[in-house]
């Protein structure tokens, strides 16, 4: 693959799948500076990964995998990550969105995902994006039954917390 | 809300970016980064080998140490920078070569292997910089006309311990990364 093909593929991925990348970014970073930092990390890994992409999985699965792995690597800055999280308590994340455009329920959902352990965050994003247990298992490298058990727990917790929030 | 409602909220979010992105600018930045890493590695590796060779030569075969003190300091500094850059460059290449076409569990395991390999190489680097200088100091102390007196005009007496300490810090940093990766790996079990 030459550089022109790599560039064209990257631009297309960035245009078509930016929503996916932003979901992973929002689920893993809390303040705008961190979100920009993580976005750069993911795009950088995505750029390098293009030459290894053999089309054995779908583009979306590939991009998810790269984005999750980049987020895990980025998570090494956990100290700053946690600081950002505590600083955001009660504040509104994602400064670029105007408050009237934001759905508070969606903000609540991202907040819940942010509080989960790293692997559970990935599981939840994939579930919410409509992936089947088998596909989730193959992306993360865990058995379908393990995915089922963990996601049942996540679903229960989210439902309970949402009810508590409504009360 | 039940989970179906939560899913509906999720699917209704649009693709509006958190911040504006310009794909052309992103591509330009990434191409510049790639060029910088490659050109950096081209001259740093020979420099590392040269400085490692000089360390061995300087430690055992130097005849008039006082005349070479400034050179010793200069090469000590270059050696320090080169060693650090060499190992980070090595790690970068290994990470670029990660096999991404496998589940996250496999990618995490490959990354752990990379860091462990890097740590092993860093240990070798420590032996490379310390063993020649320590053995020489011992030799010199034994052969000295005034046994037991350390000659501080030898820059490596200061430079090599600093270099060794820096490499040990690199190892500790990488070990923490390994622990972090293993904790993610354990979350998958």
The pLDDT of residue B39: 55
Residues of B in contact with A110 (CB under 8 A): none
Among B99, B153, B152, B156, CA closest to B133: B156
- Give the mean model confidence (pLDDT) for residues B90-110: 73
Q: Looking at the predicted structure, is the pLDDT value of residue B69 above 50?
A: yes
- Greater confidence (A40 vs B134) lies with A40
Q: Looking at the predicted structure, is the pLDDT value of residue A86 above 60?
A: no
Q: Left if phi > 0, otherwise alpha if psi is -120 to 50, otherwise beta: which for B48?
A: alpha
Contact with chain A for residue B101, Cβ under 8 A: yes
The pLDDT of residue A122: 92
C-alpha angle B179-B102-A122 in degrees, rounded to nearest 5: 65
Residues of A in contact with B3 (CB under 8 A): 155, 158-159
The pLDDT of residue A5: 85
Q: Looking at the predicted structure, is the pLDDT value of residue B100 above 80?
A: no
Nearest beta carbon to residue B7 from set A68, A117, A128: A128
Read off the pLDDT band of B95 (50, 70, 90): low
Nearest CA in chain B to A137: B103
Give the whole-number percent of chain B exceeding pLDDT 70: 41
The pLDDT of residue B170: 79
C-alpha angle A32-A37-A38 in degrees, rounded to nearest 5: 100
The pLDDT of residue B11: 83
Q: Which residues contact B126 (CB under 8 A, 6 or more apart)?
A: B164, B167, B168
The pLDDT of residue A15: 85
ipTM surpassing 0.85: no
Closest Cα of chain A to B106: distance in Å? 7
Instruction: Residue B132: count other Cβ atoms within 10 Å of its Cβ.
Output: 19
Read off the pLDDT band of B43 (50, 70, 90): low
Q: Which among A51-55, B88-92, B155-159 has the top mean pLDDT?
A: A51-55
The pLDDT of residue A113: 92
The pLDDT of residue A3: 80
Q: By mean pLDDT, which of A55-59, A138-142, B144-148 is the weakest?
A: B144-148
Q: Looking at the predicted structure, is the pLDDT value of residue B186 above 60?
A: yes
The pLDDT of residue B108: 85
Read off the pLDDT band of B107 (50, 70, 90): confident
Average pLDDT of chain A? 81
Interface of B with A in 49-88 (CB under 8 A): none
For residues A86 and A80, give the distance between their C-alpha atoms in angstroms, rounded to a whole number: 10
- Give the mean model confidence (pLDDT) for residues A73-94: 50
- Give the mean model confidence (pLDDT) for residues A12-39: 87
Q: Looking at the predicted structure, is the pLDDT value of residue A93 above 70?
A: no
Q: Which residues contact A147 (CB under 8 A, 6 or more apart)?
A: A123, A133, A136, A137, A140
Residue B67, CA distances (Å) to B77, B110, B115, B159 in order: 17, 48, 41, 17
Question: pTM for this one?
Answer: 0.70
Closest Cα of chain A to B90: distance in Å? 16
The pLDDT of residue A4: 83
Nearest CA in chain B to A29: B18
Q: Looking at the predicted structure, is the pLDDT value of residue A147 above 80?
A: yes
Q: Which among A77-91, A134-148, B6-20 has the top mean pLDDT?
A: A134-148
- Give the mean model confidence (pLDDT) for residues B98-111: 80
């Amino acid at each position: 693959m030459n550089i022109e093909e790599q560039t064209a593929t990257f631009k297309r991925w960035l245009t078509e799948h930016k929503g996916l990348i932003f979901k992973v970014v929002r689920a893993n970073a809390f303040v705008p500076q961190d979100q920009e930092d993580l976005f750069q990390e993911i795009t950088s890994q995505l750029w390098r990964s293009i030459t290894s992409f053999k089309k054995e999985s779908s583009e979306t699965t590939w991009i998810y995998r790269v984005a999750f792995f980049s987020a895990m690597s980025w998570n090494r800055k956990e100290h700053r990550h946690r600081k950002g999280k505590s600083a955001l308590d009660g504040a509104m994340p994602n400064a670029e969105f105007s408050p009237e455009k934001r759905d508070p329920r969606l903000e609540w959902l991202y907040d819940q995902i942010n509080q989960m352990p790293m692997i559970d965050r990935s599981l939840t994003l994939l579930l919410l994006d409509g992936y089947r247990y088998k596909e989730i298992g193959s992306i993360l490298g865990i058995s379908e039954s393990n995915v089922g058990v963990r996601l049942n727990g996540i679903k229960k917790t989210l439902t309970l917390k949402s009810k508590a929030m409504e009360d | 809300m039940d989970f179906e409602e939560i899913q509906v909220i999720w699917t209704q979010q649009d693709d509006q970016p958190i911040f504006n992105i310009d794909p052309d600018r992103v591509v330009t930045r990434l191409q510049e980064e790639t060029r910088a890493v490659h050109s950096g590695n081209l001259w740093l590796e020979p420099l590392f080998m040269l400085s490692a060779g000089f360390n061995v030569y300087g430690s055992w075969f130097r005849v008039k140490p006082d005349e070479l003190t400034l050179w010793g300091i200069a090469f000590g500094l270059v050696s320090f920078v080169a060693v650090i850059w060499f190992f980070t460059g090595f790690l970068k290449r290994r990470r670029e070569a990660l096999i991404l076409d496998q589940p996250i569990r496999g990618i995490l395991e490959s990354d752990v292997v990379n860091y462990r390999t890097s740590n092993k190489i860093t240990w070798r680097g420590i032996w490379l910089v310390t063993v020649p200088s320590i053995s020489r100091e011992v030799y010199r102390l034994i052969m000295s006309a005034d046994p037991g007196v350390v000659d501080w005009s030898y820059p490596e007496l200061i430079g090599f311990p600093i270099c060794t300490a820096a490499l040990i810090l690199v190892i500790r940093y990488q070990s923490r990364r390994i622990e972090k990766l293993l904790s993610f790996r354990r979350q998958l079990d």
